[in-house]
């Protein structure tokens, strides 16, 4: 539920905190941070370790044999198979993001044939530093349709306020179905900056009854996640979002998750189990 209507203004206790791990995006490689997991086994290993630390959702990107980003169903399938083989109780969320190299609905949505719980859905376009985060109206609708047909809950990735506006429009149109779940992606270079005022504005723009999480790219990591925990939302962390733990100190996924759990504890916010997260998100 949106904290505005059901959270901090009327309640002094909050829902448990759902922590998502984004262990590897499309940008990081071993050259940028040697602890970046790239192979299916490395990715599953980090998910397993971080599940033990309090993570309940794994946001997954795949790489090809050469370590390049890919939308390949086979590549995603290998990661899901590793998670299954290790018996990790985690909510699986596959990325349909624009950086995987393809831009047709067939290419971008091919991993949605796999058995997974959630998938990312950007509801608008923006710029990355060196490429376009291209999500045409036809592509967004096709991906959403396939997600619902396959029983996959979309996580709406809002890189800017306009993507929330478009999600509301798609809800009215029947393309998206309530209750919506958002990830507020703060501080991607070229999109909305990760400031407290901007995060408050994004949260207050959400449709009533939505659940939300926040991720803070690069130096906005600690401030955005701390605000998310305080305001009754949920949080995402991992090397996809920041390669540094602090200035000059390379991060690992476990270091980032441990910090979130410590902050949550100090702020009196209990961490959700995967089953509690499933219930909160209606999975
Ligand atoms: Mg991603």
**SS3 of the chain:** CCHHHHCCCCCCCCCCECEEECCCCCCCCCCCCCCCCCCHHHHHHHHHHHHHHCCCEEEECEECCCCCEECCHHHHHHHHHHHHHCCCCCEEEECCCHHHCCCCHHHHCHHHHCCCCEEEEECCCEECCCCEECCCHHHHHHHHHHHHHCCCEEEEEECCHHHHHHHHHHHHHCCCCCCCEEEEEECCCCCCCCCHHHHHHHHHCCCCCCEEEEEECHHHHHHHHHHHHHCCCEEEECCCCCCEEECCEECCHHHHHHHHHHHHHHCCCCECCHHHHHHHHCC
Tell me the CA–centroid distance for residue 58 and ligand 1, in Å: 10
Tell me the CA–centroid distance for residue 67 and ligand 1, in Å: 16
Tell me the CA–centroid distance for residue 23 and ligand 1, in Å: 9
Tell me the CA–centroid distance for residue 266 and ligand 1, in Å: 28
Tell me the CA–centroid distance for residue 10 and ligand 1, in Å: 33
Please give the pLDDT value at position 4: 46
Q: Work out the number of other CB atoms within 10 angstroms of the CB of residue 212.
A: 25
Please give the pLDDT value at position 11: 57
Distance CA 276, CA 23 (A): 22
Please give the pLDDT value at position 12: 65
**Per-residue pLDDT of the chain in tens (283 residues, 90 and over written 9):** 444 444 344 456 789 999 999 999 887 788 889 999 999 999 999 999 999 999 999 999 999 988 889 999 999 999 999 999 999 999 999 999 988 778 899 999 999 999 999 999 999 999 998 899 999 999 999 999 999 999 999 999 999 999 999 999 999 999 999 999 999 999 999 999 999 999 999 999 999 999 999 999 999 999 999 999 999 999 999 999 999 999 999 999 999 999 999 999 999 999 999 999 999 999 9
Tell me the CA–centroid distance for residue 12 and ligand 1, in Å: 33
Tell me the CA–centroid distance for residue 155 and ligand 1, in Å: 11
Tell me the CA–centroid distance for residue 134 and ligand 1, in Å: 14
Please give the pLDDT value at position 239: 97
Tell me the CA–centroid distance for residue 217 and ligand 1, in Å: 11
Tell me the CA–centroid distance for residue 9 and ligand 1, in Å: 31
Tell me the CA–centroid distance for residue 39 and ligand 1, in Å: 16
Tell me the CA–centroid distance for residue 177 and ligand 1, in Å: 22
- pTM for the whole thing? 0.95
Tell me the CA–centroid distance for residue 246 and ligand 1, in Å: 21
């Amino acid at each position: 539920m949106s904290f505005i209507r059901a959270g901090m203004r009327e309640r002094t206790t909050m829902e448990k905190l759902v922590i998502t791990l984004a262990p590897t995006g499309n940008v990081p490689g071993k050259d940028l941070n040697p602890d970046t997991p790239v192979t299916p086994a490395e990715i599953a290993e980090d998910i397993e370790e971080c599940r033990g630390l309090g993570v309940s959702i794994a946001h997954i990107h795949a790489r090809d044999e050469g370590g390049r980003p890919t939308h390949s169903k086979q590549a995603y399938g290998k990661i899901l198979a590793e998670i299954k083989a290790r018996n990790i109780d985690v909510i699986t969320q596959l990325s349909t993001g624009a950086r995987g190299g393809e831009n047709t609905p067939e290419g971008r949505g091919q991993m949605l044939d796999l058995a997974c719980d959630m998938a990312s859905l950007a509801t608008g376009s923006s710029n990355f530093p060196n490429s376009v985060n291209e999500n045409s109206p036809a592509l967004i609708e096709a991906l959403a349709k396939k997600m619902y047909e396959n029983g996959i809950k979309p996580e709406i990735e809002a890189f800017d306020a306009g993507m929330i506006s478009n999600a509301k429009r798609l809800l009215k149109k029947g393309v998206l179905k309530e209750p919506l779940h958002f990830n507020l992606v703060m501080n991607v270079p070229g999109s909305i900056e990760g400031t407290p005022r901007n995060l408050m504005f994004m949260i207050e723009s959400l449709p009533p009854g939505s659940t939300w999480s926040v991720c803070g790219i690069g130096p906005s990591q600690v401030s955005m996640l701390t605000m998310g925990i305080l305001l009754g939302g949920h949080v995402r962390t991992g090397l996809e979002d920041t390669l540094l733990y602090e200035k000059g100190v390379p991060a690992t996924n476990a270091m980032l998750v441990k910090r979130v759990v410590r902050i949550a504890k100090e702020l009196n916010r209990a961490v959700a189990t995967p089953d509690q997260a499933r219930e909160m998100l209606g999975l």
